[in-house]
Structure 1
Amino acid sequence: MKPIKEMLKSPLITKITGTGDDGAMFEFKYKARKYEVIASNGGGWDHVSIYPLHQKHTPSWDVMCILKNMCFNDDEVVMELHPAKKDYVNLAEYCLHLWKPQYEAIPTPPKLFV
């Protein structure tokens, strides 16, 4: 994950709503839509969540790519997870997450498969 100070330099960020030692909260705008983002790097995980403000839609692939580029370096692999149903926690409809473990690599398929 990029350092928080570097992340917050993005020109897409319209408002920084909070910062701390292990993360930040901010809003960004893309194609006339606003999103709330929480980025953190505690507990052995880099984690970013995104929630559309005042809208009822799930962020698009394009928005998730912009968020990934904003918060992570080009050479980092991150993932969206679909946990076992018994482990679902859905506190905010339309919210998506990016995850990256800090101490192990995420396995990826061969390029030919992608």
Structure 2
Amino acid sequence: MHITIRLAWHNNGWNGHICDEPEKNTYCIGRHSYPGDYIKGARDLDWEMQPDVKGKPCGSLTSGIPACGFSINAFGGEKTKAKINPLHGLTKKLNLPSLIFLNPQYVFGITKACIQKM
């Protein structure tokens, strides 16, 4: 059995923290990553580079949610939030709210353990 999980590139090993040097991480916003196109359009690099945000655990942030929220916590130890605009282009035009999800800790660690038992 082979399972492939495609994640947005993250320079901290998907530990639930904002990248240490978000300005240098260009692989998360391109076709190399999933959902790279969404992250490119929704990313707020100025926010990510603030001293009280970069490198910090997402679970403790109160000023925002990173665009890579769905994959940032694959091996993280605490819960984080993820936000997505379900109708991407229409969200702003129709003034629709974004959806916010709570990601459990160790999302892919749990999955990996279950697969290893198969």
**Same structural fold, with TM-score higher than 0.5 when normalized by the shorter chain:** no
Q: Which has the higher helix share?
A: 2
TM-score normalized by the length of structure 2: 0.29
